Chains A and B, each alone.
Chain A
């Protein structure tokens, strides 16, 4: 039941999603792997998702798949928060 499993935070979900993406690319030819993960995140992740992602990566969050860590330098860092 829901009561005995605390709801996942957005950070938990981002780690999970990044690792899911890495899992797909892990089965692809080796040379394409880090770029595959980075391109995917660049293409589909909104800035605040990438901001939260880098906050975790930069702290060395151990939950990330090594392939995600390897891809991180290829992922676009988000710009400053936009004001209306």
Chain B
């Protein structure tokens, strides 16, 4: 094994289609117009010396090392900033160039420490490489003069010298090693789009500065690591590299955090992970990452990881460690007993959106083929199930319509109920790049999220609607488009059912749906709404991106339908730059849905009542399958409380913390007789579990994840599972203990079974993925290269279907007792319920959940910033600290849900989407009042959790 090779071409690729031929060092090369001479040279295999150039950022021309000579032109132009031209004759190595380069390098090295042997960049230092490349043999200038390298030997102060900044938990900044190439500053601007770094001072005073001469941690830095990756020296270095040393091999794999699905190189030394570096050829992330994917992997070796299976009779007992065999046998006999005693439908399973496609497939197969029912669901129930319903009805498939590259072609971007810079940061950076190039932005969100206004980004319109009024706003946008004749008639006549369009158009044109009429409940200024509608309809390629702020409502599915209507009405479907783009929360939530995790659907979104589909699986699995839809998660919990549902196998999901109305979830779990939790940690759900099966991390197994753009990416094992088994192996052993004849020896065999049974995966195999890098389903005979864009020549269902979307106010209403509306969200540094990120250094950015409240509402209640407050709803109450901000409108409060002690879901209610039971997390009527400390429930809960996490040692047999 060796490091995955990546070539740095020095400057970004040109997208021009016009080709130009020139000669470099006697070699003829043809490249796209606009390519730099540096890049053209590299493509011809000639590496021009360089320091300030790297292909992740635009050329800068500051280091003067990449100079070349061009026949017929004067001087020695920099090859990074000089574009190719037809017929040029370029020389990259002449005696004049050699002298200049050697002189430049000598000056660089004269202000750089010579501790190369003990330097963390030893083995990965471009400065050292260039000194070698130009043949530098001597530095004639000493260190006694002006320098940044060290404190003076004679005891005087060297004001130019600065100590290392070690404030960031993941990397250090050592100014003494900085050559001021500006690569970090430009990476922060161009790649990440945060603009946290700058060069302060001029000339010899110049140095890199986070913010206004702050340290990294207190600056605006979001710790994406692009600067560290860009740095050619040891100035910005991962602490893990400082501690471990340089990696010796690397493996391409896929991040296990959000639905962007970034490709990374896991750089290893033996089985020790040295660092994660985003892979340039990764088609979702194009070489970029966020703080979670790049740095927050420490949870995989966290001391709280459970490595041995455990059992207990009652949830009030301490855990008892057992062998795997005992655990499997116990679960098998308990589930069989429950089914015998309470009926076949008394047990079920929950698949994980954090696990691989193969693992998810096995869990649903265990439920359908082993348990003999369809009681299988997944966390998509609580996030994107309305997307499945809404897009399925209108377009014929639940899939997002684009790839992430598509945003590079968008002219107007609408973001609804999503906060990409926090929730989907790498996509957020790609979007910001496009916005800086001039695309227009419309944000529909109750909160002024970062994307509304941030450096060099400003939304054309921010429509700060009241939580729960999405449908009214979307329908009003449609009203403007229809009544002002802005719809794309040609597209609609060709692609959609015209009579359905007419029916819908008449519906939205009704005066009741005008921006002026809906203002009284949406709170959105009609003139802004009208202007936004005109911009979207007439501004060129219009793309809609949305998140859980759309789906997690009583009318979640209706809003998804409204979004689809709007895209169809404006002809924004079926080409790059447009489309309907659900931003998926978890790494494999798309995949878990694809793999048949829903109680009504077999893999590939085929209803269980469909005889032909069941027949395919019955033949493959050798069992009879139920044609009745099973229970969804909330229905399982209701049935448990009613006493008809007694056993649950939960893989990699924490329903007690993530699902709404915690008390009801707890009551449901408490009523069950055998709850099996398979996870890395004793999560909150495990407080009510009878069996715990240790899980493995994404670093410890092979498989695939499918991201929000339907891209199937490989997950590759880089270390032995610490618990001993990949999760797919655990499920297989469990199935075997229940008498099923499963014999998969590798996850690739599971994928082969998926491909054989699921038409949209027909050509997918590990060999094919290795060859292609990744593919976007559908990937079959018709589209062997996969499908970056859906619905190109027509909709999957045939004609696009317009459906009326009547606004219905949620029954969760404010009143005198609960006058404020609570909405929830997430933050960049933490992920979901925080089980992983809370066990990393990421806690330095977010150690607790805070309640955001408008200054006006805070003052009315006598609340100061940082005060403990009591947050109460009709469901329950909790306490947390206040954060006073005008990001939220008066009447609206907001919190995150990353910490279990906050218990935000004690507050949320059991209202849910009419079509899918997706809970209404985004609207809860609450009251906020000053408080002294934790609520009674929080204290009871803490005590229960503490008790339930006790573990007794394994009983050793007496000698």
Q: A2-B875, A20-B554 are in contact. Are A84 and B372 (CB under 8 A)?
A: yes
Complex: A83 Cα to B213 Cα, angstroms: 72
Chain B 307-341: CB-based contact to A (< 8 A → 1; otherwise 0): 00000000000000000000000000000100110
Q: Are A21 and B664 within 8 A (Cβ)?
A: no
Q: Is B452 an interface residue (CB 8 A)?
A: no
Q: Is B800 an interface residue (CB 8 A)?
A: no
Complex: A1 Cα to B630 Cα, angstroms: 33
Q: Are A46 and B804 within 8 A (Cβ)?
A: no
Q: Is A70 an interface residue (CB 8 A)?
A: no
Interface stretch among B53-61, B585-593, B909-917, B940-948? B909-917
Q: A2-B663, A23-B808 are in contact. Are A47 and B876 (CB under 8 A)?
A: no
Q: Are A48 and B644 within 8 A (Cβ)?
A: yes
Main secondary structure of the interface of B (DSSP, over half): loop
Residue numbers in A under 8 Å from B600 (CB-CB): 43-44
Q: Is B635 an interface residue (CB 8 A)?
A: yes
Interface contacts beyond A10-B641, A46-B635: sample of 20 additional A-B pairs, CB < 8 Å, sorted by A: A5-B874, A8-B910, A17-B917, A21-B915, A26-B806, A27-B507, A27-B806, A40-B915, A43-B629, A44-B632, A46-B375, A46-B628, A46-B632, A47-B628, A48-B639, A78-B628, A82-B344, A82-B345, A84-B339, A84-B372
Q: Is B882 an interface residue (CB 8 A)?
A: no
Q: Are B644 and A44 within 8 A (Cβ)?
A: no
Chain B 546-574: CB-based contact to A (< 8 A → 1; otherwise 0): 00000000100110000000000000000
Q: Is A29 an interface residue (CB 8 A)?
A: yes
Across the interface, name the chain B residue whose C-beta is closest to A49. Answer: B635
Q: Are B631 and A81 within 8 A (Cβ)?
A: no
Complex: A78 Cα to B374 Cα, angstroms: 15
List residues of B whose CB falls within 8 A of some A CB. 336, 339-340, 343-345, 372-375, 503, 507, 554, 557-558, 599-600, 607, 609, 628-632, 635, 638-639, 641-642, 644, 663-664, 803-806, 808, 872, 874-877, 910, 912, 914-917
The 8 lowest CB-CB distance pairs between A and B, nearest first, are A27-B806, A84-B339, A20-B914, A10-B638, A84-B344, A82-B344, A46-B631, A84-B340
Q: Is A59 an interface residue (CB 8 A)?
A: no
- Interfacial residues of chain A within 18-53, with CB under 8 A of chain B in the complex: 20-21, 23-24, 26-29, 40, 43-49
Q: Are B607 and A1 within 8 A (Cβ)?
A: no
Residue numbers in A under 8 Å from B638 (CB-CB): 10, 13
Residue numbers in A under 8 Å from B875 (CB-CB): 2
Complex: A2 Cα to B661 Cα, angstroms: 11
List residues of A whose CB falls within 8 A of some B CB. 1-2, 5, 7-8, 10, 13, 17, 20-21, 23-24, 26-29, 40, 43-49, 78-79, 81-84
Interface centre among B372, B558, B635, B872 (most CB of A within 10 A): B635
Complex: A79 Cα to B664 Cα, angstroms: 29
Residue numbers in B under 8 Å from A2 (CB-CB): 663, 874-876
Residue numbers in B under 8 Å from A46 (CB-CB): 345, 374-375, 599, 628-632, 635
Complex: A45 Cα to B628 Cα, angstroms: 9
Q: Are B872 and A29 within 8 A (Cβ)?
A: no
Q: Are B345 and A48 within 8 A (Cβ)?
A: yes
Contact of B664 among A7, A27, A40 (CB under 8 A): A7
Across the interface, name the chain B residue whose C-beta is closest to A41. Answer: B629
Across the interface, name the chain A residue whose C-beta is closest to B641. Answer: A10
Q: Are B345 and A47 within 8 A (Cβ)?
A: yes
Residue numbers in B under 8 Å from A21 (CB-CB): 914-915
Complex: A48 Cα to B641 Cα, angstroms: 13
Q: Are B874 and A1 within 8 A (Cβ)?
A: yes
15 A-B pairs, CB-CB below 8 angstroms?
Answer: A1-B877, A2-B875, A2-B876, A10-B641, A23-B808, A24-B558, A27-B804, A40-B915, A46-B345, A46-B375, A46-B632, A46-B635, A47-B628, A48-B345, A82-B345
Q: Are A13 and B914 within 8 A (Cβ)?
A: no
Complex: A45 Cα to B914 Cα, angstroms: 12
Query: Nearest chain B CB to A64's CB is how many angstroms away?
Result: 15
Across the interface, name the chain A residue whose C-beta is closest to B914. Answer: A20
Complex: A84 Cα to B334 Cα, angstroms: 13
Complex: A8 Cα to B507 Cα, angstroms: 35
Residue numbers in B under 8 Å from A40 (CB-CB): 915
Query: Nearest chain A CB to B925's CB is how many angstroms away?
Result: 12
Contact of B914 among A24, A48, A83 (CB under 8 A): A24
Query: Nearest chain A CB to B596's CB is how many angstroms away?
Result: 15
Query: Nearest chain B CB to A32's CB is how many angstroms away?
Result: 10
Across the interface, name the chain A residue whose C-beta is closest to B626. Answer: A82
Residue numbers in A under 8 Å from B344 (CB-CB): 82-84
Q: Are A10 and B628 within 8 A (Cβ)?
A: no
Residue numbers in B under 8 Å from A13 (CB-CB): 638, 910
Residue numbers in B under 8 Å from A48 (CB-CB): 345, 631, 639, 644
Contact of A82 among B343, B876, B914 (CB under 8 A): B343
Across the interface, name the chain A residue whose C-beta is closest to B346. Answer: A84
Query: Nearest chain A CB to B109's CB is how many angstroms away?
Result: 70
Across the interface, name the chain A residue whose C-beta is closest to B558. Answer: A24
Complex: A84 Cα to B557 Cα, angstroms: 35
Across the interface, name the chain B residue whose C-beta is closest to A81. Answer: B343
Query: Nearest chain A CB to B814's CB is how many angstroms away?
Result: 16
Query: Nearest chain A CB to B908's CB is how many angstroms away?
Result: 12
Q: Are B914 and A17 within 8 A (Cβ)?
A: yes
Complex: A47 Cα to B876 Cα, angstroms: 31
Complex: A23 Cα to B673 Cα, angstroms: 37
Contact of B607 among A5, A43, A82, A84 (CB under 8 A): A43
Residue numbers in A under 8 Å from B642 (CB-CB): 10
Residue numbers in A under 8 Å from B917 (CB-CB): 17
